[in-house]
């Protein structure tokens, strides 16, 4: 995925009036500045979910023992930050390993939540926070080759390739809103703006 837009253009985009377009369109529009901008945006959302993951479902001992006590989500985000500092090149073995481990943890958490009874909303929110964290890692692993390998239609392949990991960013934003239902679309924009302005 190539970037055809300047950093000045990104700053103008970040300053755009929130009412100018729906959040999903605004998030998708960040793809104009490339994969690393989308990963940084997804990371901002993920970092805001770590505390919700740690809080877990206090009335569910099984959840707290198996999931809330896991440091893997934070460890994975630490690895993601280090990867970005090194320039964010695809194929980082440590980051790929963290992503795979986190994928397994969140899959197990989703299964646990589906099978458990009682205390559902706390667990569902905790699972959603884990999913938001996972989406940041998935965004970092995105390549056009992987994303289009099973897509036979050339026009669709080009559309996917040009959008980068925008789908992962959107999924992360949806998961964040589920994990922290009191949060607003404005808060999602604020998290991303602050993170991208600070880069």
Q: Alpha carbon 93 to chain centroid distance? A: 19
User: Residue 68 corresponds to which tokens in the numbers above?
Assistant: 């809330």
- Which residue, among 171, 146, 141, has the nearest Cα to 161 in the 3D structure? 146
C-alpha to C-alpha distance for 177 and 9, rounded to whole angstroms: 27
User: Residue 132 corresponds to which tokens in the numbers above?
Assistant: 């938001």
Which residue reads 């970037």 in tokens?
A: 3
Render pLDDT for 71-102 as a digit per residue (tens, 0 to 9): 999 999 999 999 999 998 888 899 999 999 99
Please count the other Cβ atoms lying within 10 Å of the Cβ belonging to residue 70.
Answer: 19
Render pLDDT for 95-121 as a digit per residue (tens, 0 to 9): 999 999 999 999 999 999 888 876 578
Render pLDDT for 127-165 as a digit per residue (tens, 0 to 9): 999 999 999 999 999 988 888 888 888 888 888 888 899
C-alpha to C-alpha distance for 71 and 90, rounded to whole angstroms: 24
Q: Alpha carbon 59 to chain centroid distance? A: 27
C-alpha to C-alpha distance for 52 and 127, rounded to whole angstroms: 9
User: Predicted confidence band at 59 (pLDDT cuts at 50, 70, 90)?
Assistant: confident
pTM: 0.92
109 sits in which H/E element:
helix 93-115
Please count the other Cβ atoms lying within 10 Å of the Cβ belonging to residue 106.
Answer: 25
Which residue reads 């998935």 in tokens?
A: 138
162 contacts 91 by C-beta, under 8 angstroms: no
């Amino acid at each position: 995925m190539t970037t055809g837009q300047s950093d000045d253009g990104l700053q103008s985009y970040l300053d755009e009036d929130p009412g100018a377009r729906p959040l999903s369109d605004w998030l998708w529009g960040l793809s104009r500045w490339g994969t690393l901008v989308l990963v940084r945006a997804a990371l901002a959302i993920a970092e805001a979910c770590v505390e919700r993951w740690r809080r877990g479902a206090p009335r569910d001992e099984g959840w707290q023992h198996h999931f809330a006590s896991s440091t893997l989500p934070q460890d994975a985000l630490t690895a993601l930050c280090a990867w970005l500092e090194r320039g964010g090149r695809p194929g980082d073995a440590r980051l790929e390993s963290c992503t795979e481990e986190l994928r397994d943890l969140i899959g197990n958490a989703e299964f646990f939540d589906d099978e458990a009874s009682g205390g559902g909303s706390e667990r569902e929110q905790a699972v959603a926070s884990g999913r938001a964290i996972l989406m940041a890692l998935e965004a970092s692993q995105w390549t056009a080759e992987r994303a289009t390998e099973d897509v036979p239609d050339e026009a669709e392949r080009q559309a996917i390739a040009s959008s980068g990991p925008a789908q992962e960013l959107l999924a992360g934003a949806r998961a964040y809103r589920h994990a922290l239902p009191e949060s607003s679309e404005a808060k999602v924009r604020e998290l991303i703006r602050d993170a991208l302005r600070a880069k």
